[in-house]
Chains A and B, each alone.
Chain A
């Protein structure tokens, strides 16, 4: 009889595994994604499929080059999250090659050049988005109003193929400024959000509740806030993420917005606007919480989240871009190794500094 003695215990294991974790995240994204695909129609569906296919292809290629098991890599689900989040961060009517370029940079450069799953410093999806954002500003800021599938003014299947795969389609006649872009421009002119937001709604024939649900121009993940929030709460409930990063990030953003809005309403958007705009929710629940690129300790996660909130607010307020979540997350990703070093839990029986606890009676 042969008995295997090759490792120390434990000789049992919890039911958690990488696939289950990754697929739970994907499940949390499904409602918001379906809603957005419906909202922006066939071009959005094509773009989503192109992004996923490109990311999976890059993953397979890189894994093969590195000599790993392609089946293992694809089955762990991590690259699907990258592709999915990347697709959500692109303008829904962007041309196919923007998605492909973003995917190549996300998967090949941001992930595999660093050593693959678990080794990357920066969130791959955000690298992909930022590379195309700075390289192709026109395509990346051309947004279209919501044209739900099967509605009167939605493009048909063939027309949609042309939008995604055609050569240099001009969307000028239907394109619209994203809400954040519009409001940012107005703020720079000294028009407070309390004026510019109603203007924006009026010009888009929409209401505040439409806006909240996502019936407005923007990246896929920027709309449908209730569904994104629902997904985030699902992840919290399944204990895939903890509250630390989202609460720290959204809390910081809200507090900064509220405080500065109180000081100078003409120049600063209020806290609620910051919370409900752009990618705040998507970033807080799905991107900043990325395991690989955020700190492992709870105290580190609080600092990390607060940092993302602060940088997002700074970029939205003072920088050239109307939205700053992606940049903010990438900047904080760079700090993660340092945060990991400085924010460790207190070791049992030791002080925060690592010395053994003093005994009663010790001086």
Chain B
């Protein structure tokens, strides 16, 4: 299959050998699960259980609210011990409403929705409903509710479902293992998603540093003409949605548009597996595969983890960690720093990394020497050095003009910077500030227009009153004036 070049990008130390040959193991059920009501982009779910309730495995604990949201389910049977605020797995470390579930050890299933015997004769709408009810979100880390993304077929004429098995982040091997060990499930899930999207073709893109995954997936896809497996070059950030689309199809998604605008929808391989389980067995999303890795971890592993498991328990299961410089949720390039080890694994947690000082290579920033590496390696064609200079001087509008909002925060510039300048940190700050300023401006404009409308209404009323008074006065002075002439 013909591939297309993508611009920029880097080749970091992948360190995938730490876990790539470690088969997925199942974590023993922890003593308590902490299930946040918000594990996805969009509105948080609202609780459907009371404290003290006994729940079964797969039972809904929180209902999705609004158009963009997702429900959460009980990963096992047990008792709800509390519904309270717990530190969120987010760098802010802010508390979020969380359901505490004490497993009873029986792991008894609730009554599940009926498996769909032949999803390909089912209406796309019904598949989307099942995916929505199963609480499936983008498991590559973006956590956008999958059902909403599967609805794109309604508005766009789609040609390709691009299944993202690039896994370009260093250390992470969870997708690699899922593709090797559950290849048939992933291919089936992908075909079901393509049906839901009304997309005739499925392309599964895998970076060529995962030859076993390519082999397994090619074998699983062999029976289906509509499914192609393609090895893509090892080049970070190959797994970025728009870049992968360009590499595989040559189509460049215009700024501020979706890949769907060029006929492509991208889903992650782990999401495909979750869809397979939901549609074929009626099982909601209750667990995910997490790579626990990093030089500080005693025994790095790929683990199937019940959602809600505290990170500390995962690390303990891997023999603990020593000499840790940093804990990261996700990959080292785009992952988030962990605010605490008490936070739970959620739907978007692809990895838990404990990195040593030698791995983070953190050092103090030095002055920019304008070497231009950030420009050369930016996969989005931006000029990070200039954007950072504008942001440092609080010229956010200037930074926006040269494209800071087109930055995907992949971190290539920060990685390559010889002066160790935290460029992405600047851009994340600017994007947040610009969005906030935008909201504020819209709000001000809205208020202004409301005030203007209010004033206009008052003026109209006053005018009406004056006219009425004038008419009354005229009538008083000349009682005949108001009468219609015969």
Q: Which residues of A contact B (CB under 8 A)?
A: 1, 3-18, 20-21, 72, 76, 78, 116-119, 242, 291-292, 295-298, 301, 340, 344-350, 354, 356-360
Contact = CB atoms under 8 A, between A and B. Distances in A.
A254 B375 CA distance: 29
B321 to A, nearest CB: 11
The 7 nearest A-B residue pairs measured at CB = A10-B411, A296-B372, A349-B255, A357-B254, A13-B361, A345-B381, A356-B255
Interface string B365-384: 01111111101101111110
Contacts of B380: 347-349
B242 A348 contact: yes
Interface of B: 7, 10, 12-13, 91, 93, 170, 242-243, 252-257, 261-262, 326-328, 332-341, 353, 355, 359-363, 366-373, 375-376, 378-383, 385-386, 401-403, 406, 409, 411, 414-420, 422, 424-425, 428
Contact of B255 (A5, A7, A18, A348): A348
Contacts of B335: 9, 11
Contacts of A340: 383, 386
A209 B84 CA distance: 85
A296 B385 contact: yes
Q: Is the interface of B mostly helix, strand, loop or mixed?
A: loop
A5 B382 contact: no
Given A5-B93, A345-B381, A349-B406, A291 B425 contact: no
Nearest to B366: A18
A119 B411 CA distance: 24
A357 B381 CA distance: 14
Given A12-B333, A297-B375, A297-B383, A349 B242 contact: yes
B383 A9 contact: no
B344 to A, nearest CB: 16
Nearest to A13: B361
A344 B424 contact: no
A118 B254 contact: no
B333 A344 contact: no
Contact of A20 (B327, B372, B418, B422): B418
6 contacts: A5-B339, A10-B424, A11-B337, A291-B372, A347-B380, A354-B403
A16 B418 CA distance: 5
Nearest to A360: B262
B355 A12 contact: yes
A298 B262 CA distance: 29
A8 B254 contact: no
A6 B411 CA distance: 16
Q: Name the residue in B367, B380, B383 with the highest tally of chain A Cβ atoms < 10 Å from its Cβ.
A: B367
A325 to B, nearest CB: 21
Contacts of A14: 10, 12, 361, 415-416
B332 A346 contact: no
A20 B382 CA distance: 25
Nearest to A297: B375
A242 to B, nearest CB: 8
A297 B338 CA distance: 36
Given A9-B328, A21-B371, A292-B370, A348 B252 contact: yes
Contacts of A359: 254, 257, 261-262
Contact of A13 (B252, B334, B401, B415): B415
Nearest to B170: A12
Contacts of A18: 366, 369, 418-419
B339 to A, nearest CB: 5
Contacts of B261: 359
B406 A350 contact: yes
A14 B339 CA distance: 25
